[in-house]
Amino acid sequence: MSKVSEGGPTRTDAFDERERAFEAKYRHDEEIAFKADARCAHLFGLWVAGRLGLAGAAAEDYSKTVREADLIKPQHRAMFAKALADLVAKGIAATEAELAGRRETLLEEAKKQIVNELAEGRQHLEPGL
């Protein structure tokens, strides 16, 4: 731990500062990813609701059930199973691969929405991020 200059920062200080900056960026990116994933589940639920012929409050209510299903199992299995079962019950052809592909498209849209809302000040990250 040598001093850079008398009374100046040490190498350890510079390393610690860099580490804090890296950790802050990681927390920032993770929070955006979390918000985008939640937004994606909402958009996915609305998309399925549209295929089921639901609109307005009924579509919003359906989307809520899809978001809740998404919290049950990892990798969105419960969400896909619910959507697939609901579509098939209505006689609408669908596959899990189709649903997964739509989710990926909607995830990119959700990320763009979150980033734009952050830039416009309509979305906020947790304090300290």
Domains, the chain, ranges and CATH?
11-116 (1.10.790.20)
- The owner of tokens 């307005």 is 56
| Nearest-angstrom CA–CA distance, 103 and 116 | 20
- The owner of tokens 């937004």 is 39
Backbone conformation region of residue 127, classed left if phi is above 0, alpha if psi is from -120 to 50, else beta: beta
61-95 residue pLDDT tens? 999 999 999 988 878 999 999 999 999 999 999 99
pLDDT of residue 123: 78
Backbone conformation region of residue 55, classed left if phi is above 0, alpha if psi is from -120 to 50, else beta: beta
Res 9 pLDDT > 80: no
CA 28, 36, 53 angle in degrees (round to 5)? 170
* Burial bucket for residue 103 (CB in 10 Å: 0-12, 13-18, 19+): buried
Torsion sign (Cα): 17, 18, 21, 27: negative
| Nearest-angstrom CA–CA distance, 53 and 80 | 18
Query: Confidence band (pLDDT; 50, 70, 90) for 26?
Result: confident
Q: What is the pTM of this model?
A: 0.79
102-113 residue pLDDT tens? 999 999 999 999
